Structure 1
Amino acid sequence: MKLSLSAIAGLALFVLGALAPLIFGSQPYILYVLTLALCYAIPAIGMNLLYGYTGLVSLGHMGFAGVGAYTTAVLMKDFGVPFVPSLLAGAGAAGLIGLVVGIPCLRLRSHFFIVVTLAVGMIMYTLFNNLDALTGGAEGLPGIPRPEGFAIGAFEVEFRSLTGFYLLVFTVTALVFLLQYVLVRSDFGRSLSSVRQDESLAAARGVNVFAHKLFAFVLSAAIAGVGGAMKVLFLRAAAPLSFELQESINLIMMLILGGAGYLIGPIIGAITFVALPEFLRVASELRLIFFGFVLLLLARFAPRGICGLTEAAYTKLSNREKAVVAHT
């Protein structure tokens, strides 16, 4: 069976990601950057389900990540709840807020929906910044504990070290990616794509447009909650600035950079968006200018992102090889 370009790229990313601790074991800074990038890749996957496959743009999505982050942090720090139940509770809380927000907001269209999600994100940021008794206010919640390790016979797994936590984030990202893959390849995923292309036509063919959009919105919010939780567990602190408007804009930029509507687009975009500015710190004064220039070039010559550019080049090369074979 011939593998598609997306499948080959996905497998390559999985193998490289699993081997990263061995490859960069002597370079902890690179492993740190990759861990942070994966923490952003998780909510970016959620945004891909919303924007890439449903056609909805949310400018307040990191607010849902904040709900998941603070829920998980409070449960683990103040109540001693284990990691997995805390993470599921954080995802559930973010999904519930997404449901409450989505029911009225998804009846709005285009820019009205975008403006409302912007307002929702700003409201949640204000709450994070002012609920001192719950969120710690502007100072945030420091000292969030890392998940406890476990042992399988003589083999011990711990998450307090950088390598151990990277493997944990990598595993969570892989599970979220698998969820995205199963959903997108299902009949429901194909219905989501039809909603993005033409809502009226999708409704005429029997698709419940509102229910599909609501499910995508709630699931995207829950996934964002997982990403927010992993980020604060990695940094061991939850602060409102991690979930402000700029962070939501960064999330959309990651998706556009990697390629919206591609399965691996969010991961490629997150790694590039987080890693490239960090590796350009040698030119700290010019690094943001250079990165902005790269984004402008992609917007001009690769509007479908890195994945779209790669796919176009691969298709062109394949067609040329077929033409050569047919000519000979």
Structure 2
Amino acid sequence: MDRRSVLAFLILAPAAVLATAWADLPPYLLQILALACTYAVPAIGLNLLLGYGGLVSLGHAAFVGLGGYALGLLTVEAGWSFWAALPLAPLVAGVAGALLGAVTLRLRSHFFMIATLAFGLVLHAVLNNWEGLTRGPVGLPGIPRPEALALFGLEIGFRRLPDFAAFAVGCTALAYGFSALVVRSDFGRMLEAIRQDEILAAAKGVDVARGKIVTFALAAAIAGFGGALKVSFLRVAAPASFEYAEGINLVLIVVLGGAGRLAGPLIGALLFVALPEALRVAAEWRLVFFGLALVILMRAAPDGVAGLIARGWAALRRRRAPA
């Protein structure tokens, strides 16, 4: 990232967290914001795979589940604190992503998609049936919210909804910043070369297999981090929260927001959560209208809403530019 981007991030990210904590928003809006963050973080990881690596993973929700259950088991069963268990959630998911990537990334196109979908289905079956470890369909209730932190003589708590929503915004900003660092680094440029022409990249000396595995591991680790955030928000880790349909939803969020654009997952997650809530007035027709709205959005913005905004901004700048 260039200096201006880093400076803007260092100013805007804390400002967004503080604005969320201090703004007098209704609890309903805070719930929507926190829920959107639980989808945005895994989608940021998937965007590395789909948008920048050109790899469509339909089982990304499995890594969200691994991170969520890792946090749940350590806090509920082992008695760890939230902050001690949090770093292990992305670690467990990242290791699983590296192992799965080493096996499945040899496959091409739809075979890779089927393999990732199969992994998601298998993991969901394990979570649903291994009652001795996961408690089966009931899941792990009672997952704690983050404990209060003492910084510079001030105690910062996360029990209240405004404070937890600010924590969720901070986690999303952290995932976004990490993704931006990866994309703007030499590794990100190598990943872009692999996506554009894998054979040419290999001929230029790029280790294609290693690059894909590292990308898969990073995407899975970010998803595991999002899983820890999700189960802390829901206060329970249950298999229903990580079924294969959630993996499809994550792909939809990335594509809707704009695959290959840093802001795409943020926009897509907000639309994915807010649109159905705005259409609740339509009762049983809500999902029909939601589907129509998605079709219209994709027709108007085939490269995602972020791409549509970028094109509109570029057109506005051209109009304002002197002849």
Identity, in percent, stands at 48
2-structure distance, mates of 1:118, 1:182: 28
Alpha-carbon deviation of 1:113? 0.3
Residue of structure 1 in register with 2:263 after alignment:
264
What CA distance in whole angstroms lies between the structure 2 residues aligned with 1:152 and 1:186? 32
Please give the secondary structure, in 1, of the residue aligned with 2:276.
helix
Amino acid at match of 1:131: W
Q: Provide the secondary structure at the position in 2 that maps to 1:108.
A: coil
Shift of 1:262: 0.6
* Structure 1 segments (4+ residues) deviating >6 Å: 1-4, 7-14
Corresponding residue for residue 208 of structure 1: 207
User: Amino acid of the residue matched to residue 226 of structure 1?
Assistant: F
RMSD: 2.2
Q: Distance in 2 between matches of 1:242 and 1:129?
A: 11
After superposition, the Cα gap between the structure-2 partners of 1:178 and 1:153, relative to the gap in structure 1 and judged at 3 Å, is closer
User: Which amino acid in structure 2 is aligned with residue 30 of structure 1?
Assistant: L
Say if 1:18 and 1:170, in contact at 8 Å, map to a contact too.
Answer: no
Amino acid at match of 1:53: Y
- The answer to whether the Cα contact below 8 Å between 1:71 and 1:93 also exists between their aligned partners in 2 is yes
For 1:45 and 1:59, the matched residues in 2 are separated by: 15
* Residue identity in the other structure for 1:55: G
Equivalents in 2 of 1:263, 1:197: separation in Å? Answer: 18
Contact 2:104–2:115, Cα closer than 8 Å, also in 1: yes
Q: Which moved more, 1:150-159 or 1:103-112?
A: 150-159
**SS of corresponding position for 1:228:** helix
Q: Quick one: structure 1 residues 317 and 13, their matched pair in 2 at CA, closer, same or farther if it must change by over 3 Å?
A: farther
Q: Deviation of residue 107 (structure 1)?
A: 0.6
Secondary structure of residue in 1 paired with 2:146? coil
Q: Deviations over 1:234-272 (max 9, x none)?
A: 110111011111100000111111111111111111111
TM-score of the aligned structures, taking structure 1 as reference length: 0.92
Give 1:80's aligned amino acid. Answer: G
Deviations 1:117-157 (A, max 9, x none): 01000000000100111111011111112221122355221
Give SS of 2:150's match.
strand
For 1:227, the equivalent position in structure 2 comes to: 226
- Match for residue 117 of structure 1? 116
Q: Which residue of 2 aligns with 1:139?
A: 138
Change (3 A) 1:230 1:77: same
Matched to 1:120, the amino acid is F
Cα gap change, 1:9 to 1:301, in 2 (>3 Å) = farther
Matched residue type, 1:47? L
8 Å CA contact 1:255, 1:269 repeated in 2: yes
After TM superposition, list the pairs within 5 Å mapping 1:1-328 onto structure 2.
15-16=15-16, 18-23=18-23, 25-152=24-151, 154-322=153-321, 325-326=322-323
Q: State the Cα distance separating 1:15 from its structure 2 match.
A: 4.3
CA contact (8 A) 1:46 1:221 kept: yes
AA in 1 matched with 2:305:
I
Q: TM-score w.r.t. structure 2 length?
A: 0.94
Q: Deviations over 1:66-107 (max 9, x none)?
A: 011001111011112122331111111111111221111001
Question: Per the alignment, in what secondary structure is the counterpart of residue 86 of structure 2?
Answer: helix
**Alpha-carbon contact 1:68-1:224 (below 8 Å) kept:** yes
CA offsets, 1:144-187, max 9 Å, x none?
A: 12221122355221111111211221222111111111111111
Structure 1 residues 179-205: Cα deviation after superposition (integer angstroms, max 9, x where no partner):
111111111101101111111111122
Q: Separation in 2 of the partners of 1:197 and 1:133? A: 46
**Alpha carbons of 1:288 and 1:188: their partners in 2 closer, same or farther (altered >3 Å)?**
same
* 8 Å contact from structure 1 (residues 43, 225) kept in 2: yes
Q: Which moved more, 1:262-271 or 1:144-153?
A: 144-153
Q: 1:18 to 1:83 in 2, by over 3 A?
A: same
Q: Distance in 2 between matches of 1:75 and 1:2?
A: 39
SS in 2 for 1:55: coil
Would the aligned equivalents of 1:68 and 1:93 in 2 still touch at CA under 8 Å?
yes
CA deviation after TM superposition for structure 1 residue 285, in Å: 2.0
What SS does the aligned partner of 1:151 have? strand
Is contact 2:20-2:162 (8 Å) kept? no
CA distance in 1, matches of 2:269, 2:182: 21
CA distance in 2 between partners of 1:16 and 1:95 (Å):
28
Q: Provide Cα deviations, 1:6-29, integer angstroms capped at 9, x if missing partner.
A: x98997787455413333x24011
